[in-house]
Amino acid sequence: MGQSSKFSHIIDFIKTLYPGQDFIPLHEPRFTGNEKKYVADAIDSTFVSSVGAYVNRFEEMMQEITGAKYAVATVNGTAALHMALLVAGVKQGDEVLTQDLSFIATANAISYIGAKPVFLDIDRKNLGLSADVLQAFLDEWGQKGAEGTINKKTGNRIAACVPMHSFGFPCEIDRIAAVCSEWNIPLIEDAAESLGSYYKGKHTGTFGLLGTYSFNGNKTVTCGGGGAIVTNNEQLAKLAKHLTTQAKVPHAWEFNHDYIGYNYRMPNLNAALACAQLEQLAGFVENKRKLAATYKAFFQDIAGIAYCEEAKEAKANYWLNVLLLDNREERDAFLAEANNNGVMSRPAWTLMHKLPMFRDCQHDSVAVSQWVEDRLVNIPSSVRV
């Protein structure tokens, strides 16, 4: 089978999974529950901004789903990560270890504080930060001191580590957590893409000091925007909630503020939508895992294309299904043919260290990240109706 006919075969198969659609998006939302009812109720209550019953309920539901003791609703996932870094003690001039293959929001949130990302390589098995690479980097460049771990190359404090569970696949987060503990580096999980994913029976986002999530329009569940922070640390949860509410000191009528605050709370209207979506999370994940099993069976018979699966001890939400082609040329040819025929597909993000604003950031060889960037394709992954 030639390249073009092979790709046409794949495109035709994807179209059978989403029948009756002239254009098949990469990941579109499904509003099949109480969304309209809850949003109308929020409107009728007149509480449509950052205070309301649905904001409170959303935080309770996130605690129930993840098993975390505390949850703080935010306006989006980037704001959640920015705030998590702040309350974890990251300061201007610090460094934060993260992965080179990541959505830009991770590096942006670090930069908002005036800290600097250090980009490390990923694990080919799960597309997330490699625990082995993290350990090797710290063995070479880390120096333990009274104020924490210092990067011997730059003299700056390494104030946090932020791995991301890429495309919903859990990384080896327990091993990463162990390395961070050894080096006294706070662990903040970017779980933006992995709501409903588990590693060794524990929900992603709950292995570190804090975890963050996104509810953007293309996520497994959405409220248009929206984000959340989870933690088991009561002090950090209270501080995050305070800072995201403009750091207003509670009072019936007076306006006093004791920190530089942020307008980062999730509006009640969005929370109403989020609550309805969270009610359906388990069903959505089951649906997406069935789709993943269908893709896996199909691609077993397609030469030259590897289908990415969850690791043995992981349970992924399969937010986006991932293919790895033989090389960049094959990747580009597939992307062109799929998108030209109404099947939305996309490549991996450009590696962070290649972007102009991050070119002076320290990074390791990132050989696996480059290998994956050259080959990765995401294919349609919406919940099927």
pLDDT at 269: 97
Query: How far from chain centre, in Å, is Cα 188?
Result: 12
CA 190, CA 205: separation in Å to the nearest integer? 7
**Which distant-in-sequence residues (6+ apart) come within 8 Å of 372 by Cβ?**
101, 122, 124, 127, 324, 348
pLDDT at 1: 56
pLDDT at 2: 63
pLDDT at 76: 98
Taking a C-beta distance cutoff of 8 angstroms, is the pair 300, 13 a contact?
A: no
CA 139, CA 144: separation in Å to the nearest integer? 10
User: Vertex 168, ends 130 and 57: CA angle to 5°?
Assistant: 125
Q: Give tens-digit pLDDT for 86-134.
A: 999 999 999 999 999 999 999 999 999 999 999 999 999 999 999 999 9
CA 359, CA 341: separation in Å to the nearest integer? 36
Q: Give tens-digit pLDDT for 204-245.
A: 999 999 999 999 999 999 999 999 999 999 999 999 999 999
pLDDT at 66: 98
367, two tokens: 């050989």
Q: Give tens-digit pLDDT for 254-266.
A: 999 999 999 999 9
pLDDT under 50: residue ranges of the chain: none
Is the sign of the CA dihedral 355, 81, 323, 3 positive or negative? Answer: negative
Cα 191 to Cα 210, 266, 267, 268: the distances in Å are: 10, 18, 21, 23
Query: Which domains are assigned to the chain?
Result: 3-30+281-379 (3.90.1150.10), 35-278 (3.40.640.10)
Amino acid at 43: I
Chain position carrying tokens 């990747």 = 331
Instruction: Share the mean pLDDT of the chain.
Output: 97
CA 95, CA 93: separation in Å to the nearest integer? 7
pLDDT at 13: 97
Taking a C-beta distance cutoff of 8 angstroms, is the pair 270, 51 a contact?
A: no
Taking a C-beta distance cutoff of 8 angstroms, is the pair 363, 346 a contact?
A: no
